[in-house]
Structure 1
């Protein structure tokens, strides 16, 4: 009776039980949908809090939410099974993230208690899941036990900040806990090296994980499209508005083309764990830049003000730098970007930065030509 119940509920897959040519499940796709609303909330709140505090808040909240997304992506990839247990906890995590997202406006306004409590519940879900993997696979404790201890310390600081009367001190404790959460895996690279080498696990990001990053990027680009289309549905009185709309649309298309040309079918392997962790960290920075690009595109289209255009130029250049950092190093790339492509993209970054001196929509038009040119050229060169 107990055996049947256990098989009906299921157990986490051990880290050595890798699934060859794993495909993204419908459950994973559904779990990503909640981040559509979160990204939209970031853009909307940045519009209302366009100041230094607003940008710091954006980065803090983005790192919190993306850390949850990363941990669940890795859990699905390393331990996920097609069983009721996996479905129930994944759906519970979706609900927890959705509830946490409702406190985003409060966090931008400097009120953190609701966000802290909701996020902690969300985080305890996958901490429990990882704890159960250690119980099911004792050898996995090499990496899981330090991970959980570090997260418990971070949670103690995070929840404890609720009772700190000084707002500045509370904000400092929140940032300190965040740094613990986002740095734990990289700091534990030595443990991963020992476990992976002992158990003969390859140091790589498989195609399913890379596809999840690509899908998240698609969500962000969708928010960019939604922002400019929403603006045009309200403001389309002059022919110039449609011209500006096309220019903004071309910027998004160029970004899409470059990302998927450079990242499509990329093979990421290394001889140690920290380069794999570094690749994920750079990708996290890239996605943050894309969210900011979405914000600046919509604001530039809406107002035409120089400050938003300058922001767009900077984050577009940073996005291209991040793509180069993902595609060039032999540290984790089986097929690094050729040197001549690197030089052309690097030169384009310099030109884009110089275009900050140009009039807004002229500069944006030339930026579009560069982005589309890079995208078409790299695509044709890879055929």
Structure 2
């Protein structure tokens, strides 16, 4: 079905008004730019807070921010229109999430009030947007009303945590609210099944959404490149520095090659909603692992310490495992990954885990060979 006619303010597109062969808009590309800075702040703050609390904080903040990104991606895809209304709220959301990002450092230090208020304002924007979709399309209330109720409860807990007298209690309530936010869509999968079947909406992720995930992955890989280049700008006095830089660069290239050769032209379809939501959850885990890879590869290059190299090997293996799940599971893959590429991925994961016990830069060299080998094999198959 073709989209509704353009208007200056307009209304949100109904969920049944699909756009054939939808392409990512310039507005969507611009709204993703703020996450370049957000990913950078994660890496910088992990450098300053390299401890258990720092890693827990990373996962909590990453899930908060990525939840916002996911909600806006889905809103653009299902309800976005080429009108002033869509432009205004998209840019307002960019401003809101940018302000929220300024409190990242305080959150890593254990101070959450500023982050909570800024994030809550950001949440209210797309809660309002989804409420408007329900008003414009009453049948959509089947899925939208439970979503909004859960988010109101989560927001009440999040804001209420500000006045708790104990920091551990506040942190616990923040995590509970986060779990509500990230689990809401999956938990109401039966509502999505009912609405989608009633309105004859296919259970799939179109190429535009998959491309948005690919672009976010590119943002994270770009942060990895920026980190190792920044290190070399500061320290490039010896031949060994350039050798280590080359090893770090090849690790990023190998990761990039595997991701894009496996995910290119992939078709995601299912017979119900939960596999689609599960796919998005795995992809979220993958991008978090790639963000941690960016941190560990920069620290490995900068310090050469075994602890950072072992962290790098763990998150790299976890990234490959996530890619294996994304491409192999038949519940949402129209064409699951073939047997031989699957075996190469499994062997690569096992080998990278074993390489934790190798000397740092010897292990990194062998890891590079594994990543590049898998990437080249997939590339030749695609060609």
Name the TM tier (shorter chain).
over 0.9
Q: What does 1:220-231 align with in structure 2 at a 5 Å threshold?
A: 220-231=220-231
Instruction: Provide the secondary structure at the position in 2 that maps to 1:16.
Output: coil
Separation (CA, whole Å) in 2 of partners of 1:275 and 1:356 = 33
> Hey, what does 1:156 align to over in structure 2?
156
Indicate conservation of the 8 Å contact 2:155/2:177, yes or no.
yes
Separation (CA, whole Å) in 1 of partners of 2:38 and 2:365 = 30
Residue by residue, what CA displacement relative to the aligned partner does 1:197-245 show, whole Å, maximum 9, x if unpaired?
Answer: 0000000000000000000000000000000000000100100000000
> Hey, what does 1:357 align to over in structure 2?
357
Bigger Cα displacement from structure 2, 18-27 vs 336-345: 336-345
Q: CA deviation at 1:47?
A: 0.2
Separation (CA, whole Å) in 2 of partners of 1:125 and 1:332 = 31
Separation (CA, whole Å) in 2 of partners of 1:196 and 1:365 = 49
Q: CA deviation at 1:321?
A: 0.1
In structure 2, runs of 5+ residues without a counterpart are 1-5
Residue by residue, what CA displacement relative to the aligned partner does 1:18-41 show, whole Å, maximum 9, x if unpaired?
Answer: 000000000000000000000000
Q: CA deviation at 1:341?
A: 1.3
> Hey, what does 2:324 align to over in structure 1?
324
Output the TM-score relative to the length of structure 1.
0.98
Q: What does 1:170-185 align with in structure 2 at a 5 Å threshold?
A: 170-185=170-185
1:379 and 2:379 correspond: yes
Separation (CA, whole Å) in 2 of partners of 1:292 and 1:139 = 41
Separation (CA, whole Å) in 2 of partners of 1:21 and 1:351 = 41
> Hey, what does 1:298 align to over in structure 2?
298
Instruction: Provide the secondary structure at the position in 2 that maps to 1:335.
Output: coil
1:235 and 2:235 correspond: yes
Q: CA deviation at 1:379?
A: 1.1
> Hey, what does 1:3 align to over in structure 2?
none
> Hey, what does 1:120 align to over in structure 2?
120
Instruction: Provide the secondary structure at the position in 2 that maps to 1:18.
Output: coil
- Residues 7 and 26 from structure 1, CA distance in 2 versus in 1: closer, same or farther, beyond 3 angstroms? closer
Matched positions, count: 378
Separation (CA, whole Å) in 2 of partners of 1:302 and 1:364 = 14
Separation (CA, whole Å) in 2 of partners of 1:313 and 1:340 = 23
Indicate conservation of the 8 Å contact 2:7/2:84, yes or no.
no
Instruction: Provide the secondary structure at the position in 1 that maps to 2:96.
Output: helix
> Hey, what does 1:250 align to over in structure 2?
250
> Hey, what does 1:79 align to over in structure 2?
79
Q: CA deviation at 1:374?
A: 0.3
Q: CA deviation at 1:381?
A: 1.2
- Across the aligned residues of Structure 1 and Structure 2, the Cα RMSD in angstroms comes to 0.7
Residue by residue, what CA displacement relative to the aligned partner does 1:338-375 show, whole Å, maximum 9, x if unpaired?
Answer: 11211111011101110011100000000000000000
Q: What does 1:1-383 align with in structure 2 at a 5 Å threshold?
A: 7-383=7-383
Residue by residue, what CA displacement relative to the aligned partner does 1:28-79 show, whole Å, maximum 9, x if unpaired?
Answer: 0000000000000000000000000000000000000000000000000000
Separation (CA, whole Å) in 2 of partners of 1:331 and 1:143 = 22
Instruction: Provide the secondary structure at the position in 2 that maps to 1:141.
Output: helix
Instruction: Provide the secondary structure at the position in 2 that maps to 1:8.
Output: coil
Give structure 1 regions of 4+ aligned residues with deviation exceeding 3 angstroms: none
Separation (CA, whole Å) in 1 of partners of 2:310 and 2:100 = 32
In structure 1, runs of 5+ residues without a counterpart are 1-5
Q: CA deviation at 1:293?
A: 0.1
Instruction: Provide the secondary structure at the position in 2 that maps to 1:200.
Output: coil
Separation (CA, whole Å) in 1 of partners of 2:213 and 2:340 = 26
